[in-house]
């Protein structure tokens, strides 16, 4: 529940028809937040895309005991945005299937969800933000359906993975990822996501709250994005990316080097593109102590054209 009484939250179920191995529908959990008194109908809805190890609400709508203002969704809603997120197949409240929910599967989810949001809101395009493997999902989706994306933000994005210390460590478990569609998670593992790059960039209470929120759904998540990021990179062709794009990275992010991201950035075909390195943040920028540097950077990019008018 939102800490702000003016914000309304609504849940939806969206179906991927016949997407399961047995031909059954896959149910995708969708969550929406808006402050109707502040809602600016001129702005495209915002879709936030989660990463490999944490589902939507722990990432983007987190409540932290003793601390305030850790919901990116609430923050955007209070500034006039209609904000949406989803649990990808195999995550959170969405259907758990035999699929490993790889990056291509995530892009399929975004095709279904984007169509659903556009039908609900009447807007022809969305502003899309993706974190980590969510950035890969969002970028792949944008290359497939550029007409549905107004602005695209890629945070913690990996292109080739060259010289990534996090991916080098992750490659030690390729055999497990190949043999299993799901991998175990724990409090210790989720907490390590916040400390592996630069301890002190996230309040320990946030890591604890995030782990508790994620583990309420279960003790495993799909292996697909980990397998893709250790064996199949690059997954996105920058020359196929035609939409307005912002690449952001936390200063201390260990999953992708700035050089790898800048090489990708240089090849993006869009005439509108930006690159920002955010100080005092690591990989999970929306939940860092200095998260509002990220939040404001994203908001300013979404509103850049409006400011010119």
All structural domains of the chain, each given as residue ranges with its CATH number in brackets, are 8-308 (3.40.50.1820)
Rounded Cα distance, 154 and 294, in Å? 12
Kindly report the backbone phi and psi dihedral angles of residue 277, in degrees, each rounded to the nearest multiple of 5, phi listed first.
Answer: -105, 125
294 to each of 29, 278, 290, 303, how far by Cα in Å?
A: 26, 7, 8, 14
Cα angle 48-230-279, degrees, rounded to a multiple of 5: 50
User: Across residues 107-130, what is the average pLDDT?
Assistant: 98
Contact, 53 vs 43, CB < 8 A?
Answer: no
Question: What rounded mean pLDDT belongs to the chain?
Answer: 96
Contact, 53 vs 184, CB < 8 A?
Answer: no
Q: Is the pLDDT of residue 307 over 50?
A: no
User: Across residues 232-253, what is the average pLDDT?
Assistant: 97
Task: Calculate what percentage of the chain has a pLDDT beyond 70.
Answer: 98
Contact, 97 vs 249, CB < 8 A?
Answer: no
| Predicted confidence band of residue 308 (pLDDT cuts 50, 70, 90) | very low
Helices and strands in the chain, H and E counts:
12, 10
Nearest to 163 by CA among 245, 262, 293: 262
List % helix, strand, coil for the chain (3-state, nearest 5).
40, 20, 40
- pLDDT tens, 21-45? 888 999 999 999 999 899 999 999 9
Task: Calculate what percentage of the chain has a pLDDT beyond 90.
Answer: 93
Q: Is the pLDDT of residue 56 over 80?
A: yes
- pLDDT tens, 145-203? 999 999 999 999 999 999 999 999 999 999 999 999 999 999 999 999 999 999 999 99
Nearest to 100 by CA among 20, 166, 159: 20
Identify whether 187 is preceded by a cis peptide bond (ω within 30 of 0).
Answer: no
Contact, 232 vs 290, CB < 8 A?
Answer: no
Length of the chain: 309
Q: Is the pLDDT of residue 305 over 90?
A: no
Q: Tell me the three state secondary structure of residue 247.
A: strand
Q: Is the pLDDT of residue 2 over 60?
A: no
Rounded Cα distance, 294 and 303, in Å? 14
pLDDT score for 3:
62
- pLDDT tens, 264-273? 999 999 989 9
pLDDT score for 306:
52
Q: Is the pLDDT of residue 1 over 80?
A: no
pLDDT score for 18:
81
pLDDT score for 4:
77
pTM as predicted: 0.97
| Predicted confidence band of residue 19 (pLDDT cuts 50, 70, 90) | confident
pLDDT score for 113:
98
Q: Is the pLDDT of residue 123 over 70?
A: yes
CA 184 to chain centre: 20
């Amino acid at each position: 529940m939102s800490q702000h009484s003016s914000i309304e939250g609504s849940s939806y179920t969206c179906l991927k028809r016949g997407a399961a191995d047995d031909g059954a529908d896959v149910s995708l959990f969708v969550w929406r937040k808006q402050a109707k008194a502040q809602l600016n109908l001129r702005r495209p809805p915002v879709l936030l895309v989660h990463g490999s190890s944490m589902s939507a609400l722990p990432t983007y709508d987190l409540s932290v005991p003793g601390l305030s203002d850790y919901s990116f969704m609430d923050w955007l809603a209070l500034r006039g945005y209609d904000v949406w997120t989803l649990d990808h197949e195999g995550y959170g409240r969405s259907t758990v299937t035999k699929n490993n929910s790889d990056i291509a599967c995530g892009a399929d989810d975004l095709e279904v969800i984007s169509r659903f949001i556009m039908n609900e809101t009447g807007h022809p395009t969305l502003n899309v933000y993706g974190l980590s493997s969510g950035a890969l999902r969002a970028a792949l989706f944008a290359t497939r359906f550029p007409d549905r994306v107004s602005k695209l933000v890629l945070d913690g994005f990996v292109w080739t993975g060259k010289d990534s210390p996090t991916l080098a460590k992750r490659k030690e478990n390729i055999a497990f990822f190949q043999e299993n569609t799901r991998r175990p998670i724990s409090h210790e593992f989720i907490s390590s996501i916040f400390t592996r790059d630069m301890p002190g960039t996230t309040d320990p209470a946030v890591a604890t709250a995030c782990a508790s929120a994620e583990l309420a759904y279960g003790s495993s998540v799909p292996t697909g994005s980990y397998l893709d990021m250790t064996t199949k990179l690059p997954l996105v062709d920058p020359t196929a990316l035609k939409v307005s794009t912002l690449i952001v990275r936390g200063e201390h992010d260990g999953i992708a080097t700035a050089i790898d991201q800048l090489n990708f950035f240089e090849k993006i075909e869009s005439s509108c593109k930006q690159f920002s390195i955010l100080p005092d943040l690591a990989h999970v920028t929306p939940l860092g102590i200095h998260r509002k540097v990220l939040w404001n950077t994203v908001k300013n990019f979404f509103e850049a054209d409006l400011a010119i008018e």
